[in-house]
Structure formats: C-alpha cells, structure tokens
Amino acid sequence: MVPNAMRRRDSWRIAGDLPSSFRYAAQGLGYAFLTQRNFRIHVVTGVVVFGLATWLQLDLIRLAVLVLTVAAVLVLELLNTATEAVVDLAIGRRYHPLARIAKDCAAAAVLTAAISSLLIALFLLLPPLLLRLGL
C-alpha cells in the first residue's frame, strides 16, 4: 500500500491501468460527495426523482431523459468543484477578478443545468403524477 503523501506527490502521473483509472474516478466522486454540499443535494434529489419515476412507472425513454438530466447536473457540479480547486491552486488566497469569473461561470453552469433539469422533471413527472393522484 502506498502512503497518502506518495500518492499526492505522484498525482500528475497517468494511471497505468484501467482499475487505477476507475479508483481515481471513485475517489473524485467520494471527495465531491463528502465535501460538496450541493453535490449531495443533487444526488439526493436525483434519487428522489428516480424513486418517483419508478413509482409512476415511466417508460424507458422518459426514464432515460431523467438519467441524462440528473447526470448532466452531477457532471457539471464535479466540473465546478474541479474548477474551484484549480483556481484556488493557481492563485492561493489572493483575489483576482479572472478567478472570480472562472468560479462564477462554473457555478452558473451548474445553476443553469439544475433549473433546466427541474423543468424537465416537471414536464415528465407532473402529468403522470396528477393522473396517479386523480387530479
């Protein structure tokens, strides 16, 4: 087993095998889930949406659209986290207007996707939900 300090020092190296690549990706997901509140909110929201879609017995096409929508939000949240980390690494604790722009634009991408996914979920879930509830 390689000590943490060694793994960090050699983090610039390309993964030598496929299992290592998957392990690094899993570490990224774990980091985001443990440290990013908004990522956890999006994951929980996605689970609720998939639970509701299953209960409503949505067809596979609608379910696939929901999967893509939730995945897009999670991917953008991960890219937002990566952008913030790289900007912080580059400038440290100093303020720079370009750093603010990079962080704000990355956050805006997540917000745009989240709002779009909310609308898509409403379009796909609300009609069958209203039918199921007899309204």
DSSP state of 60: H
Residues 132 and 60 sit within 8 Å (Cβ to Cβ): no
Number of H-type helices and E-type strands within the chain: 5, 0
The residues annotated as belonging to the active site are 77
Chain CA centroid to CA 122, Å: 20
Q: Compute the residue count for the chain.
A: 135
